[in-house]
Structure 1
Amino acid sequence: MSEDSSVDPGGPTEEPTGRPLTPEETARVVELSQHFAREGMTSELAGFVDHGLPADVADHDGNTLLMLAAYHGHAETVAMLLDRGADADRRNGRDQSPVAGALFKGEDDVVRLLVAAGADLDAGTPSGRATAQMFGRADLLP
């Protein structure tokens, strides 16, 4: 990811010393956090969130950390983000929800976590429910 000014940093504004982060530093923190989410680096990502990075920080395409972790099948990371207040229903710029992404990728454990967290199965395009039907995974839904 480039240091795109359209990134919604919504995140850390100060480093531990109290000095405000520059826009470039904020973009780098967001970039690292997205890498951690994609790779399932749960403890590293938890450290960022525990030190002020919003759990719902999004890239220029609207992909949150939860969306990235869900899509890549990292159940432990998904659980950690949900525990820290990530929105299970926040859709990206293409109107895709984390649960639909996890269903599309066949990530059953992630789907179960999102459903247990109350993910709206009828939100998004296609919805989680429609995605489950398309891929024969309606058994994962209540």
Structure 2
Amino acid sequence: MALDLGKRLLEAARNGEDDEIRVLMQNGAPFTTDWLGTSPLHLAAQYGHFSTVKVLLQAGISRDARTKVDRTPLHMAAADGHAPIVDLLIKVSDDYKCGGFSRLRVSVHINNGYHLWPLQNGANVNARDMLEMTALHWATEHSHHDVVHLLIKSGADVSSHNKFGKTPIDIALDKNNHELLVTMQVRAVGHTAFHRDIIRLPPPPVT
């Protein structure tokens, strides 16, 4: 029964069905994962369901959950260009959990209702997956400019190397992405002398 509820919770998260998620959680649905280690939060983040992400976070699901390839919900949201979700994940913390249960679930038992707790400090912006890719690597790879700007503003490391020795700056160079190169070079100044000294921005593409 619990396993079935967990599978239904995964599907509801994938589809952004907030009310269904609340009902399933009230009925004791566990925060399970699929065979790839993908949690409800990963799915909601990947498919751009902002309100669903918020509901799950407020229920106490871990924002730092990892798939079998070490991807976090932040990786998913960044790779697919969901800037509002990236922003939400960065700002959220686990301090609204208590006693092994989320305060949301405790309030269900006490008050038979939901109390939404404030979202505070957030996910590790420089978390790496199995390929040593950060959220910034993925956002740059897919040219999601708004996500890149948000991640850099939140302290993402523009000089972090992935498994193939590539930094987000290198990826932007490979793609001849002038706007992102400018943003990253400004960030790199004072942090990585190597990139500060060798980067030469290509001219903007002719339109």
Shorter-normalised TM range: 0.7 to 0.9
Question: 2:7 corresponds to which letter in structure 1?
Answer: E
4+ residue runs over 6 A deviation = none
Q: Could you tell me which of 115, 125, 128 is aligned with 1:124?
A: 128
AA matched with 1:47:
V
Segments of 5+ residues of structure 1 without an aligned counterpart are 1-24
- TM-score for both structures, normalised by structure 2: 0.53
Higher relative contact order (CA 8 A, sep 6+): 1
Contact 2:13 2:21 in 1 (8 A): yes
Q: Secondary structure at the match of 2:35?
A: coil
Whole-Å Cα distance in 2 between the matches of residues 110 and 95 of structure 1?
19
Q: Which residue of 2 aligns with 1:107?
A: 82
**Residue 103 of structure 1 contacts residue 132 of structure 1 at CA under 8 Å; is this kept in 2?**
yes
Task: Tell me the residue number matched to 1:46.
Answer: 22
**Rg: which structure is higher?**
2
Partners of 1:27 and 1:53 lie apart in 2 by 8
Name the aligned partner's letter for residue 77 of structure 2.
Answer: A
Q: Which deviations, in whole Å up to 9, do the C-alpha atoms of 1:59-99 show, x marking residues without a partner?
A: 22111100011101100000000011111111101111111
Is structure 2 residue 55 aligned with structure 1 residue 80?
yes
Equivalence for 2:192? none
Instruction: Specify every segment of 5 or more residues in structure 2 that has no aligned partner in the other structure, as ranges.
Output: 93-121, 155-207
Is contact 2:44-2:53 (8 Å) kept? yes
TM-score (norm 1): 0.75
Asked if 2 retains the 8 angstrom alpha-carbon contact of 1:40 and 1:69, the reply is yes
Match of 2:5 in 1: 29
